[in-house]
Amino acid sequence: MKNMTVQKFNDMKQETYKANPGRPTHITSNEQYEIILDRVEELLQVVDNNTPSDNKYSVELELLSNLVADYEEVYMPVIQPTLAEILRLRMVEMGLNQKGVAQLLDVSPSRISEYLNGSSEPTLKVARNMGKKLSIDPHILLGV
């Protein structure tokens, strides 16, 4: 299986170089993405922190990792969670219900319900408390 992955990668690399001689390449399909990911996994078994940066496997790993990162940035963007999603997650992690969160933040349970359904935003004071007591990132609290 390992040799088949290497062969697929080498075939794909040759086709790409023929189509784009001397130019940087990019991943153009999910199949290429999967093949390159497999190759990155193989290279991670060979390259470590002590491998010289001019080692051919290290260079290949760097190039392929950049291709993967570029592809993922376009086709698999990470979407920042909403305040409601993070608040629900913290409630589960901390074993709290709406009433418990309300007591912790010194607000009414109905206000927590409004935060959870997105009909209300916390005041600056409550947002500060959420950040401190629930460890919620300020960027999420501010919606940026």
pLDDT per residue as tens digits for the range 49-92: 999 989 999 999 999 999 999 999 999 988 888 899 999 999 99
Length of the chain: 144
Of the pLDDT bands very low, low, confident and very high (cuts 50, 70, 90), residue 6 is low
Q: What number of other Cβ atoms are within 10 A of residue 9's Cβ?
A: 19
The answer to whether residues 15 and 50 belong to one domain is yes
Same domain (yes/no): 49, 25: yes
pLDDT, mean of residues 2-27: 60
SS3 73: helix
Q: Is the pLDDT of residue 133 over 70?
A: yes
Predicted confidence band of residue 100 (pLDDT cuts 50, 70, 90)? very high
Q: Which pTM was predicted?
A: 0.55
- What is the longest distance spanned by two Cα atoms in the chain? 66
24 in the same domain as 71? yes
**Whether residue 70 sits in one domain with residue 18:** yes
Are 47 and 91 in the same domain?
no
Neighbours of 128 (CB within 10 A): 14
Split into its structural domains, the chain has a count of 2
Rounded to 10 deg, the angle between the 30-46 and 2-19 helix axes is 120
Residues 124 and 71 in one domain: no
Question: Which residue range forms the structural domain that includes residue 54?
Answer: 2-75
126: domain CATH number is: 1.10.260.40
Please check whether residues 70 and 11 belong to one and the same domain.
yes
Residues 55, 111, single domain; the answer is: no
Residues 55 and 110 both lie in one domain: no
Task: Tell me, yes or no, whether 9 and 27 share the same domain.
Answer: yes
Domain boundary among 47, 75, 103: 75
